[in-house]
Amino acid sequence: MSELESNMAENGGGAVAPPADVSTAMKVVTPNPETVSAAEALKLEGNALLAESKLGHAVGKYTAAIDLHPTAIYLSNRAFCYVKLEQFGLAILDADMALELDSTYVKAYYRRGSANMALAKFKLAVKDFRKVTKMQPKSKEAAAKLKASEKMQKEAAFAAAIMTDADVPLAEEINPDEIVVDSGYDGPRLGDDGEVTVDFCKAMMARFEEQKLIHKKYIVQILCQVYKALKDSPSLMRLHIPEEEGSHFTVCGDTHGQFYDVLNIFKLNGLPSAKNPYLFNGDFVDRGSFSLEVVTTFLALKLAEPEGIFLTRGNHESKNMNKIYGFEGEVKHKFDQTVMTLFAEVFCWLPLAATLDGGVFVTHGGLPAEDSCKLDDIAAVRRGREPPDSGIMSDLMWSDPQPFTGRSPSKRGVGMAFGPDVTKAFLEGNDLKLLVRSHEVKEEGYLVEHDGKCITVFSAPNYCDQMGNKGAFIRFGSDLEPQFTTFEAVPHPAVRPMAYAGAFGNVMGL
């Protein structure tokens, strides 16, 4: 646990009176002692819920406390919850208001820096962490966060300066045959033709389960092959349920490096095949520390059973997220930068969405910001790049549903929030009946909203080893009616989430 976050939520003695020059963004009326006491009690309830990782409930308690008596502590505590929920836009707003109330409250700078880091706003993150180090000059943790954010700022600037459209991807230049497999390697091997078979996949998964890796040569071969296959795939996949009577199609949500829970999905529902097809809806990596095993399994199965497994891109299949949430560190620990570069190139060619029998629309985040957007517009989105800050690609990967009508700025700081009227209009305008998306942890593993027209499915149970949620997957038959299966987390080796995230692990609240 980090030094600055060792008390996840401030438990200090009582509410702090706000300064007299609070801006109109946070009007504060001096409360009576009873109100102060009631607000403090709500904060303590929120702290207890936060300690149990009941983040949504904790947010509710902090919000009630803020409504009674806004203080920098209460706002910063809620910002901490929002960072852990990846609602970075809301975290920044709360940290801003906390600092209006108390410009010396160090945790508000820290949490705003964390949120800015996650949004790749590295210049702003550096500014916040510099403030933290000035306020706590003896804090080794604060110095580490500043160093990490400065490094990312420099790396981003350098990458932007040298990037050109003429660059040849590594996947098109590297020759896997030049990688020598040492005689002591006792794992599964690909043949001379490099064909990835189901038997190879099964042997590889068994080896992963024993916490062993396959040889780098075979990882490189898989990534180079799947890179070429994905380049030839469309941005919008038009998928179909097998024609055999009783056939179905399974849609899974985020798996986030929880390899042993992925194995459990296959145990419950069978391995992917043309007769038992799956769509995994993004966010295969990050957070969980077996991300390499998860995504390599999916990619190898895609080569072995091309009509048995389909993959869409999530917001965590991107360089910025991978730097912060552990996948890059994991790949470098288990292999090297060459392998990480190949993964990044593969991610850029993942499809963005799919339709199922022309009736169900599946994408990781949510709907585009433009009312006029049609399926053909989604199909025409250019891939082969990192996701931009706005536009159709960004919206599909980042957006979330909201309970009220219309659109609103995203709580995440990227993408949009869309209401039931937006969902209805998009579905009707494209002759669809249902939206399936992922992107958000749900207590039961799924949630049906927007008058039954929007389903969130999340397949990483006990997310980050602390959320206590169930996982779920959806089966669709020929009638396109969703059938839900929920499941609990299974044991995994004692490797904590984000074990390879380095300094960023504590920044993000783990």
3-state secondary structure 201-268: HHHHHHHHHCCCCCCHHHHHHHHHHHHHHHHCCCCEEEECCCCCCCCCEEEECECCCCHHHHHHHHHH
Distance between CA atoms of 498 and 330, rounded to whole angstroms? 9
Query: Is the CB of residue 196 less than 8 Å from the CB of residue 300?
Result: yes
> How far is residue 212 from each of residues 85, 102, 204, measured CA to CA in Å?
32, 51, 9
Distance between CA atoms of 368 and 9, rounded to whole angstroms? 36
Nearby residues of 93 by Cβ (< 8 Å), 6 or more positions away: none
DSSP letter for 16, please: P
For residue 352, give both structure tokens: 């963005």
Identified catalytic residue from 69, 215, 256, 316? 316
Nearest residue to 469 (alpha-carbon basis) of 452, 447, 453: 447
Distance between CA atoms of 372 and 354, rounded to whole angstroms? 18
Characterize 47-76 residue by residue with b for buried, 16 or more Cβ atoms within 10 angstroms of its Cβ, and e for exposed.
Answer: bebbeebbbebbbbbbbbbbebbbbbbbbb
Taking phi first (over 0 means left), then psi (-120 to 50 degrees means alpha), and beta for anything else, what does residue 185 get? beta
Nearest residue to 12 (alpha-carbon basis) of 92, 91, 77: 77
248 counts as catalytic: no
- The one-letter code for the residue type at 102 is D
Residues annotated as part of the active site: 316
